[in-house]
Amino acid sequence: MMKAVVVGAGLGGISTAILLKKFFDEVVVLEKNTTPGGRARYFSVGEFRFDMGPSWYLMPEIFEEFFSEAGENPHPIIRVNPPVKVMESKFLKKEYREFTGDNVDDRYLNKTRLFYDFSKKFIKKEMVFSDFLDKEVLVNISALFDTLDNFNARYFRDSLMRKAMGFSSVFIGGSPFRVPAVYAMINYAIYGQGVFYPYKGFEGYVKRLYEIARKKGVEFKFDFPVNKVKIDEGKVVEVSSNIKREMGDVFVFNMDYFYADSLLPEEYKVISGRRYKLSPSAILAYIGLEDTLDLPHHTVIINGDWREHFTSIDRNSLPSVENTSYYVSYRGATNKETRDLVILIPVGTGTEISKELIDGVIRDLEVKIGCKIKASYIRIYGPDDFKRDYNAYEGTAFGLAHTLDQTGPFRLPMKNTRLKNLYYVGQYTQPGIGVPMVTLSSMIVSKKISKEFL
């Protein structure tokens, strides 16, 4: 009887558990919180339900591949129209310029599709350094050393279009001034393929994964915050949470990589003294609405000095209110049964929640849409909450930023080379940040385990 223990019931952990159940007699998932999903958790208050984390469903072919490997039908999705609305203005000004996903230059879409197609060759495996000598990589080598903003500037002189094509960098943990140009592939996913909405939101997606895992015989143990790792003869033999203990033959950590490393003796740690570049954190406002709004599903509002906001993130400080850009998710545009509004403000790690900033952003949104936001419920969530709920290192919302030196084989490894049965899955490893990438991570690591361990 072989047993796999997955620590963390985020999307990467549940997906990995489903795939490992094909090979292991017993698979157990341990979760710190009381519900599954990790950063994709959900919560309800009275009549309101909120997806706490991801709201963009991109690259549907990756999910189709995952469900095929799991022997299940894909999760139902519907297309979001428009894919996103981007507004450029000044703080508290009604006048704005907008872009709703149309008239993207065909030359740009064709080029980003090339990035998309060639990247898929590498994101479906654990890259090694020799992959940089691949012919397709060499042909596109400039896209690794150029920045996303510089790349976009070659196609768009208009500041609104340039910013619209740059904001996607936030959702892979970086800024358009630091993320390599190759990540423009995300813009092809948005504007070339389309943005989708999973049936019943990400709450529905998480519940579907959880139901599949349970059906296949995966056991879940909640309220199990692992805080100790027992090692014997070069192997992990047990993880524990105070008096709770779980033994196993293979262990997969889907928890914060820095926190996981802190639980290991010095000789088994993975993270070196190198200074890693973290993604931004975020301040989120979860708002239960009294009335419906005239808003699309996804809105990005860019106020004032765009570069100054990203500079504040690099400084680990809050942006000035007048130079704050933010993202708004309004599911009611796609699912009429919902009346929840989520506002996300990218901020530096280690910052604190600012009522002035939140109040200013809500006032600005009211001005932009021309009506009062009547809230029956509001909850504010910030960097300290990421630390508390996910042991997130320095309060990062997404993990490691996607800079050149943290791409592919430069990201944290999927296996501990000093412990022969300890593996890692999730946003810190390859291929990186985002629900499609974490899903790929689960597929890669489960194959790696079956090949190396069984």
For 253-264, write each residue's pLDDT tens digit.
Answer: 999 999 999 999
User: What is the SS3 assignment for 261-280?
Assistant: HHCCCHHHCCCCCCCCCECC
Distance from C-alpha of 100 to C-alpha of 83, rounded to nearest angstrom = 7
HEC secondary structure over 55-114: CCECCHHHHHHHHHHHCCCCCCEEECCCCCEEEEECCCCCCEEEECCCCCCHHHHHHHHH
Q: DSSP string of 358-417?
A: HHHHHHHHHHHHTS---EEEEEEE-HHHHHHHH--GGG-SSSB---GGGSGGGSPPSB-T
Q: Where is 187: in which H helix or E strand?
A: helix 185-188
What pLDDT is recorded for position 273? 78
Kindly give the pairing relationship between strand 26-30 and strand 3-7. Answer: parallel
At residue 136 the predicted structure's pLDDT band, cuts being 50, 70 and 90, is confident
Fold of 103-194: Guanine Nucleotide Dissociation Inhibitor; domain 1 (1.10.405)
Residue 454 reports pLDDT greater than 80: no
Mean pLDDT, residues 277-304: 96
CA-to-CA distance for 85 and 333, rounded, in angstroms? 12
The distance from CA 276 to its chain's CA centroid, rounded to whole angstroms, is: 18
pLDDT-based confidence at 134, cuts 50/70/90?
A: confident
Residue 170 has pLDDT above 90, yes or no: no
Helix or strand holding residue 228 (H, E) = strand 228-232
92 pLDDT exceeds 80? yes
Give residue 90's Cα distance to chain centre. 29
- Two structure tokens written together for 219: 């056991």
The alpha carbon of 55 is separated from its chain's Cα centroid by a whole number of angstroms, namely: 9
Question: Does the pLDDT of residue 375 top 90, yes or no?
Answer: yes
Q: Per-residue pLDDT tens for 317-369? A: 999 999 999 999 999 999 998 999 999 999 999 899 999 999 999 999 999 99
Mean pLDDT estimate for the chain: 95
The residues spanned by each domain of the chain are 3-47+55-76+199-277+402-452, 103-194, 280-397
Superfamily of domain 3-47+55-76+199-277+402-452: FAD/NAD(P)-binding domain (3.50.50.60)
Left, alpha or beta for 173 (phi > 0: left; psi -120 to 50: alpha)? left
Question: 13: which 2 tokens?
Answer: 């952990």
